[in-house]
Structure 1
Amino acid sequence: MGVARLGVGGTPSRKCFVEDDATVSLFRRSLAEGVGTAMLMIAVVGSGLHDGSSQSSSAMAIAGSLIGLILAFGAVSGGHFNPTITLLQWAMGRRRLDCTVWYVTAQIVGGVVGALVSTVIFSEAPGLPGSQFPAISLLASEGVASFGLMTVVFCCSRSTNKFVGPFAVGLWLMAAILSTPTGSIANPAVAISLLATPASASVVAATLFVIVQIVGGGLAALTVATIYPDGG
């Protein structure tokens, strides 16, 4: 189980990205993470496949879906839908290893399922994964995008009401999608799931993206811990 706890007097936790009650079964919490990640991936892929879609409309669709999903599932699982958040909570001693394994597995499986569902509803077959090495600029883009996203996530988890965090994350993500060359993937589950999309992706690129996303997130966590040393 995770380490989140009910607040004083039995009231739910008011922190962002932690579940209200860590005594809820891991299956239920992981199911929320898996379903949420699948729905997020449907928005990511579907907004790109939809006829007449633009980068700005995709950004709004993805950001809006993430805000809604965090609000919908956050009370049960914390509303991560991103392995970097889960792994960093574990690294900081705020989540047990068994919970981390369940969450990350559910997020990756959910993301792949969401990508495959999108191929079905748009009548598009998944492409064949490639092996191209990504440009250094794209790796830098993902590192910066992940640093920014995790900075917002962990600042909000220390400084704001849990109902403010989803909107802050969604607004940052919308801006980052429009201002980074990779469109701010910033999520290992999404990076892996892109291999199952019609456009597919490079296995090498996806692997390197996952690495720089986690490294960028780790640097963000250290930065936030310095800015909010007593943030809990």
Structure 2
Amino acid sequence: MTRRHPFWRACAAELVGTGMLTLAVVGSGIAAADLSTDDGIRLAINAAATGLALYVIIVVFGPVSGAHLNPVVSLVDVALGGRPWRHLAGYLPAQFVGGVVGVILANTIFGRAPVSISGDDRLSGAHVAAEVVATAGLVLVIFALARGGGHRATPVAVAAYIAGAYFFTSSTSFANPAVTLGRVFTDSFAGIAPMSAVVFVPAQLIGAALGAVIAVLLFPRPSASHSNAAPGYVE
């Protein structure tokens, strides 16, 4: 039977979990840049560390909040009836705040200024298209598994997808508005310039909608083992 948690606890899980995610992304990016001058090796380190950390974060926080860690995942979950619309009032701020706090912490523990605005321009048609594709794929993986009864595989599937998408998308698969905003505040290997972030977020929203549509087309009715009271459903 699914255990229900108080709403404040779920929001706290989203804040801490998203913070840990951006800490992993930015921290491993800084470490990778210190360890190698080869961009391929840097990206491999960044992708591996992010994927491994993401798996652990989902396993730990999933039972409390569902481990969305991503505003577009929360939006799609609400739109498909997974939880009430009112939950967005807690989940979205928690994710955005957590994303920024995690970046500040990563900068700090590597001896950098807590906040430094990125100058990494990722603004091109190819990058924007990559964000649509990356986010659509992420949402499809999550909700196809949920609706098809394979939610137990979600932690490893999502972690593997994100690690792989670092390499098969030109944008290195941000696929997350909260992470995108957070990465504005680090002038490091994993950073993104503010104007690029402004364009990435709408692309991610479009990708999320496409991924949700495909998931529903593939699984028009949730499996018998799936209910709206998904792991981490809160009161």
Cα distance change on mapping 1:52 and 1:107 into 2, 3 Å: same
CA RMSD of aligned residues (A): 1.7
Q: CA, structure 1 residues 81+133, in 2 after alignment: closer, same or farther (shift >3 Å)? A: closer
Give, in whole Å, the separation in 2 of the partners of 1:98 and 1:123.
39
Say whether the 8 Å CA contact 1:71–1:163 is kept in structure 2: no
Given candidates 10, 20, 25, the residue that maps to 1:39 is 20
Q: Distance in 1 between matches of 2:92 and 2:199?
A: 18
Percent of counterpart pairs with the same letter? 35
1:84 alignment partner AA: V
Q: Give the corresponding residue for 1:167.
A: 156
For the Cα contact (< 8 Å) 2:29–2:45, is it kept in 1? Answer: no
Q: CA 1:205 to 1:170, structure 2 compared with 1: closer, same or farther past 3 Å?
A: same
Counterpart for residue 139 of structure 1: 128
Name stretches of at least 5 consecutive residues in structure 1 with no aligned partner: 1-10, 13-19
Q: May I ask how many residue pairs the two structures share in their alignment?
A: 213
Q: 205, 214, 218: which one pairs with 1:223?
A: 214
- Give the SS at the match of 2:184: helix
Distance 1:187 1:128 in 2: 19
- Contact 1:191 1:206 (C-alpha < 8 Å) held by counterparts: yes
Q: Distance in 1 between matches of 2:82 and 2:157?
A: 22
Q: Determine which structure has greater relative contact order: mean sequence separation of CA pairs < 8 Å that are 6+ residues apart, divided by chain length.
A: 2
One-letter identity of the residue aligned with 2:25: V
The TM-score, its normalising length taken from structure 1, stands at 0.86
In 1: Cα distance, 2:121 partner to 2:162 partner: 26
Moved more, 167-176 or 125-134: 125-134
Which SS does the other structure have where 2:10 is aligned? helix
Q: Which amino acid aligns with 1:106?
A: A
Map 1:114-129 → 2, pairs under 5 A: 114-125=102-113, 126-128=115-117
User: Runs of 5+ in structure 2 lacking a partner?
Assistant: 37-41, 224-235
Q: Does 1:193 align with 2:176?
A: no
